Amino acid sequence: MTGITGSTALWYASRATGVVTLLLLTTVVVLGILVNRQGRLPGLPGFAVTGLHRNVSLLAVAFLAIHVVTAIADPYVTIGLAAAVLPFASPYKPLWLGLGAISLDLVAALILTSLARARISRRAWRGIHWLAYAAWPLAVVHSLGSSPDARSGLVLGVLTGCVLAVAFALAWRLSRAAREIPRAARAAATLSRMPARKADL
């Protein structure tokens, strides 16, 4: 039995950090879907939700950085630093790695705009924040296309679980939104329950 070489260690590190990154990104997306307009989750105060979302996001970024660095350093394939950030620039599996690069760029845009949030409008920040949700499906497709071991076994199970988690969270949010009374209707209902004032004689 041969030992683990530097190359195989990088390969395993790249695959493992890719899977962990996807799990963390899925958690961030699920939290973002479940949080209501007041920034709360059922049973949790707003500050706890904000802290959880921020900490999981930072952890996802850390694992994403390790995933990219180990993929570039792995001598088995030639990816290069430019291909990690420029879509479809990689000579190795350009489509699948290109989708991963777009996902990385969206996450980077979200980080940069969050750091500069005080200097940009809330509307612009929210637009970029919503756009960053596209990073998750791109990461899923990137995983399926770039890694043959993601099409069977444990890794496929993890990918399937991630997709189901987001689908269930989205279904729950949509069903909750369908049951909510629109703001205008809530105001009208509140006014209708108020006792009528007697006209002054």
**pLDDT band at residue 164 under the 50/70/90 scheme:** very high
Residue 182 has what DSSP assignment?
Answer: P
Question: Residues 165-179: pLDDT tens digits?
Answer: 999 988 988 887 777
Q: What is the Cα–Cα distance from 159 to 164, expressed in whole angstroms?
A: 9
Mean local confidence (pLDDT), 116-142: 85
Residue in the block written with tokens 């790695």: 97
**pLDDT band at residue 181 under the 50/70/90 scheme:** low
Higher pLDDT: 97 or 46? It is 97
How far apart, in Å, are the Cα atoms of 152 and each of 52, 70, 103, 196? Answer: 32, 23, 23, 67
pTM above 0.85, yes or no: no
Asked if residues 138 and 99 have their Cβ atoms less than 8 Å apart, the reply is yes
Which tokens belong to 4? 């683990």
Question: Residues 9-58: pLDDT tens digits?
Answer: 888 888 899 999 999 999 989 888 887 655 566 666 666 777 888 889 88
**90-94: long-range pairs with CB below 8 Å, 24+:** 93/145, 93/146
Percent of the chain with pLDDT over 90: 26
Cα distance between the two ends of the chain: 101
State residue 76's pLDDT score: 77
Q: What is the Cα–Cα distance from 56 to 7, expressed in whole angstroms?
A: 29
Q: What is the Cα–Cα distance from 75 to 138, expressed in whole angstroms?
A: 25
Q: Is the pLDDT assigned to residue 103 strictly greater than 70?
A: yes
State residue 1's pLDDT score: 42
Q: Is the pLDDT assigned to residue 163 strictly greater than 90?
A: yes
